[in-house]
A = this chain, B = another copy of it.
Amino acid sequence: MPPGGAQARAEQKATLQEMAHKLFTSDEMGTFLDHLAPLTENHAYDSDEASLVRVTAREYEKRRRIPPDLVAERARVSTLAHSAWENARQQADFELFQPHLERLVDLSVRIAQALGYSEHIYDALLDLFEPQMKTSTVTSIFEKMKNALVPFVQRISSSTQEIDDNVLRGNFAEEKQWELGQAVLARIGFDPTRGRQDLSVHPFTTAFSPDDVRLTTRINPRFLASGLFGTIHEGGHALYEQGIPTSLVRTPLCDGASMSVHESQSRMWENIVGRSRPFWQFWLPELRQSFPDHFQGVDQETLYRAVNRVAPGFIRVEADEVTYNLHIFVRFELETALLEGTLQAQDLPDAWNAKMESYLGLTPPNDALGVLQDVHWSGALFGYFPTYALGNLLAVQFYNQAVQEHPEIPDRIAQGDFTQLLMWLRERIHKHGARYTPQEIVLKATGTGIDAAPFVDYIQIKYAEIYGL
Q: How far is the CB of A368 from chain B (nearest CB, A)?
A: 24
CB within 8 Å of B: which of A1-36? 1-5, 7-9, 11-12
Report the bound CA distance from A192 to B5 in whole Å: 11
* A211 contacts partner chain B, Cβ-Cβ < 8 Å: yes
A192 to B192, CA, bound (A): 33
Interface residue? A160 (CB, 8 A) = no
A202 adjacent to chain B (CB < 8 Å): no
Interface string of A191-216 (1 = CB under 8 A from B): 11111100000000000110110000
Chain A contact residue count (CB 8 A cutoff): 22
Residues of B within 8 A of A196 (CB): 1-2
Q: Given B5, B194, B209, which contacts A209 in the complex, CB threshold below 8 Å? A: B5
A89 to chain B, nearest CB (A): 20
Across the interface, A4 reaches (CB within 8 A) one of B2, B7, B211, B250, namely B211
Task: With A212-B1, A212-B2 as known contacts, state yes or no: A8 contacts B193, CB within 8 Å.
Answer: no
Q: Which of B2, B12, B191, B250 contacts A194 (CB 8 A)?
A: B2
Contacts of A211 in B (CB 8 A): 2, 4-5, 7-8
CA distance A112 to B208 in the complex (A): 33
- CB-based contact A5/B191 at 8 Å: no
Residues in chain B near residue A192, CB distance under 8 A: 2
- Count identical subunits in the complex: 2
Contact of A193 among B3, B7, B11 (CB under 8 A): B3
Residue A249 CB within 8 A of the other chain: yes
Nearest B residue to A214 via CB reads: B2
- Complex Cα distance, B3 from A192, in Å, reads 9
Residues of B within 8 A of A9 (CB): 208, 212
Give, as a whole number of angstroms, the nearest-CB distance from A71 to chain B: 18
The CA of A118 and the CA of B9, in the complex, are separated in Å by 42
Contact yes or no, B250 A209, CB < 8 A: no
> Cβ of B209 and Cβ of A2 under 8 Å apart?
no
A177 vs B8: C-alpha distance when bound (angstroms): 31
Find residues 53-68 in chain A having any chain B CB closer than 8 Å to their own CB: none
In chain A, positions 375-405 with a C-beta closer than 8 Å to chain B are: none
A12 to B212, CA, bound (A): 12
Minimal beta-carbon separation of A243 from chain B (angstroms): 14
| Binary interface encoding of chain A residues 243-257 relative to chain B, with 1 for a CB under 8 A from any of its CBs, else 0 | 000000110000000
Give Cα distance in the complex from A95 to B3, angstroms: 48
Contact A4 B191 (CB under 8 A): yes
Tell me, rounded to whole Å, the shortest Cβ–Cβ distance linking A298 to chain B: 33
Central interface residue in A8, A11, A208, A250, by most chain B CB within 10 Å: A8
List residues of chain B with CB within 8 A of the CB of A195: 2, 4
Contact residues in B for A191 (Cβ distance below 8 Å): 4
Give every chain B residue within 8 A of A7 (Cβ-Cβ).
211
**In the bound complex, CA of A214 to CA of B192 (Å):** 27
Check if B212 sits within 8 Å of A5, measured CB to CB: yes
Q: Which residue from chain B places its CB closest to the CB of A211 in the assembled complex?
A: B4
Q: List 11 A-B contacts (CB under 8 A).
A: A1-B196, A2-B192, A2-B211, A4-B191, A4-B194, A4-B195, A4-B211, A5-B208, A8-B211, A9-B212, A11-B249
- Rank and list the top 5 A-B pairs by shortest CB-CB distance, nearest first: A5-B212, A8-B209, A4-B194, A4-B211, A4-B193
